[in-house]
Amino acid sequence: MTDDNVHHLPRIGIGEAMRLYGLTARAIRFYEEKGLVEPRRDRLNVRFFDGVARRRLGWIAQLRKAGVPLGDIAEVLEAEESDSRGRERALASLETRRQSLRRDLEQVEAALAEFSASPPRAWSVKTR
């Protein structure tokens, strides 16, 4: 999701945020609880998301889809807010995630190779 798609919206409710970012209401409320996004409230105490909150939801949604941990996402958002270096931090987090996935894939491939071969004797079940 890019900001270009939603910049014209003055504010959106949680339903529209769910649709735009592919998030559930529960997830959005969780991100709010964790301090990752701060929706505003109208006079009836109904959440709405202004431009700042929408931008943060966009970052969160993209990074969560890639499996980036919430702690790293918080750092990305903080870097973006403090010195506009969120993109650099996001790229570093994504690269770390890619390396982790490569290691996991190597382990899965090794296990597949092991199980594809005839089972070692240590795997055999002894019967009486």
pLDDT by position in tens, the chain (length 128):
444 555 555 789 999 999 999 999 999 999 999 999 999 998 998 999 999 999 999 999 999 999 999 999 999 999 999 999 999 999 999 999 999 999 999 999 999 998 888 766 666 666 66
Cβ contact 28:48 at 8 Å = no
Domains by residue range for the chain, with CATH: 3-116 (1.10.1660.10)
**Strands (DSSP E) found in 1-128:** 40-41, 47-48
Q: Does residue 90 come out as left (phi exceeding 0), alpha (psi in the -120 to 50 range) or beta?
A: alpha
Please tell me whether the overall predicted TM-score, pTM, comes out greater than 0.85 for this model.
no
How many DSSP H helices and E strands does the chain contain?
Answer: 5, 2
